Amino acid sequence: MDALRVFTEEPEVELWKALLRYSYATNIKRYFSENHIVPKEDGDSCINCISGALLQADEYYRASQGVSLQVRPLLLYYGTTNLLYAMYVLMSGTIPDIKCHGMRIEVAADDKPFIADTLVRFDNPRDGGVHLFAKQLGYDVNLCELVDWDLGMFLDSIAEIAQDFEECYTDRRSHVLLLNTVKTPDGDVEKVFLNEGGQEVFAAVEGLNKAFLTPQEVRYQQGGPYYVLRRKMAGKDITRVSYSGQPYLQVAHRKGKRLVTVSSELGMYISLFVLGSLCRYHPEKWNPFVTQDSTGERLLVEKLLYYARRMLPNVVLNAITGRTTIFVTSRFEPDSRIQPVGEHEVREIVRKAVGQQLRAEQARHVMHGSEGQRNGD
């Protein structure tokens, strides 16, 4: 997608202004016309569905900022559901026949200490909301065919909480590989820090062999090992970027013989459903978590809800407009013409310069020796 940077002192407010443009009938009709979409139902019905869903989403999101953790997940889930519904109708010109959420939860046994142990079951693939929305976002895997999911398997796919995830759940591994891009004279390379798993983890990154050469392990005396990834010439770019701008690779879950990659936005939406269902239908589990949590899991959940509130409306806006819109608080500055050089780059430059000088001296020595022989020296 093309990227558009929008300067604003209030990114969240500006984001919702951009979304609510599509709550006006004139703008909806213009969108249909510009994108060659012919509504399959009555035009006024489509317009009312889009406009009403967006206005309700705005109400839910604004309300979520003034309430406690007791009900915040529920408000964000319904707000996001309205956003995705409006996106679906606007981009397809079709009013979906949604009969249910398309998923349900099963509370984990009492001996399971974490909310992340809550089980998730998928159903109704034809008229369940999550399935229709996922397809509209480009996710074309039948979740109903995949079993043995719990909330942790969606939390572990969200880049924005990757480090918090591994600190909270010491027996689980994040399915996000954060990349540290290093510039070298031979091009950019990616550094990935892995405590364990190595090649097995990389094998679960779909498309890795089409984008990168075989990962190379590097060991230092200080600290643990890390891996170096070098991009292939004309290789496909499979990296993703978190809300903070951190590049990363998404690790798939193994379901039988299949690899199933869960995107951050889908992981967030399903996580909101699970958390919202717990606070709505299982206060016996949710209230002790909110008021008495001793594991630190509550901090992770609160961080997730913050990023969901900031990111998911932006995901919907990007899908509608077909470009990435980034709302920034820093003013425009011209690109710096002076690029800082790191220590490793200096060493490489010196090594090449010394090598060139030695080869030049050797060439002069050979040339002078040949001339001496011709002159009888």
pLDDT tens, residue by residue, 233-254: 888 899 999 888 889 999 999 9
Check residue 268 and give its pLDDT: 96
Check residue 226 and give its pLDDT: 85
Looking up tokens 């398309």 gives 102
**Does residue 263 register a pLDDT over 70?**
yes
**Exposed/middle/buried for residue 345 (C-beta within 10 Å: 0-12, 13-18, 19+):** middle
Contact by Cβ (8 Å): 71, 279: yes
**Does residue 220 register a pLDDT over 70?**
no
**Exposed/middle/buried for residue 3 (C-beta within 10 Å: 0-12, 13-18, 19+):** exposed
Tens digits of residue pLDDT in 53-74 = 999 999 999 999 999 999 999 9
**Average pLDDT for 42-46:** 85
Check residue 338 and give its pLDDT: 44
Distance CA 253, CA 204 (A): 7
pLDDT, mean over the chain: 88
**Does residue 136 register a pLDDT over 50?**
yes
Please report which confidence band the pLDDT of residue 193 belongs to, taking 50, 70 and 90 as the band edges. confident
Check residue 343 and give its pLDDT: 52
Amino acid at site 377: D
Helices (H), the chain: 11-20, 25-34, 43-64, 72-92, 129-136, 152-155, 162-168, 199-203, 208-211, 264-281, 283-292, 297-321, 343-374
Distance CA 133, CA 32 (A): 19
**Average pLDDT for 200-210:** 92
Contact by Cβ (8 Å): 175, 282: no
Tens digits of residue pLDDT in 151-180 = 999 999 999 999 999 999 999 999 999 999
Check residue 107 and give its pLDDT: 95
Task: Name the helix (H) or strand (E) containing 121.
Answer: strand 119-122
**Does residue 8 register a pLDDT over 80?**
yes
**Average pLDDT for 89-111:** 94
Residues 6+ apart with CB under 8 A from 22: 28, 31, 50, 51, 54, 86, 90, 320
Global pTM value: 0.84
**Does residue 278 register a pLDDT over 80?**
yes
Looking up tokens 């604003």 gives 8
**Exposed/middle/buried for residue 96 (C-beta within 10 Å: 0-12, 13-18, 19+):** middle
CA distances from 264 to 4, 18, 154, 306, 352 (A): 21, 22, 8, 14, 43
Q: Quick one: tokens of 63?
A: 């309300």
CA angle (270 as vertex; 268, 272 as ends), nearest 5: 70
Strand partners, 218: 226
Closest by CA position to 307, among listed 238, 246, 253: 246
**Does residue 209 register a pLDDT over 70?**
yes
Distance CA 220, CA 251 (A): 25
Which percentage of the chain shows pLDDT scores above 70?
86
**Does residue 336 register a pLDDT over 60?**
no
**Average pLDDT for 134-159:** 91
Q: Quick one: tokens of 16?
A: 């919702």
Closest by CA position to 307, among listed 69, 27, 76, 148: 76
Closest by CA position to 180, among listed 194, 192, 196: 192
Check residue 302 and give its pLDDT: 97
Check residue 279 and give its pLDDT: 96
Alpha carbons within 13 angstroms on the beta-carbon side of residue 197 total: 16
Highest mean pLDDT among 146-150, 306-310, 328-332: 306-310
Check residue 368 and give its pLDDT: 60
Closest by CA position to 8, among listed 306, 308, 332, 315: 332
Start-to-end C-alpha separation, the chain: 70
**Average pLDDT for 252-270:** 91
CA angle (18 as vertex; 17, 24 as ends), nearest 5: 85
Distance CA 16, CA 54 (A): 9
Check residue 345 and give its pLDDT: 54
Of 87-96, 221-230, 286-295, the least confident: 221-230
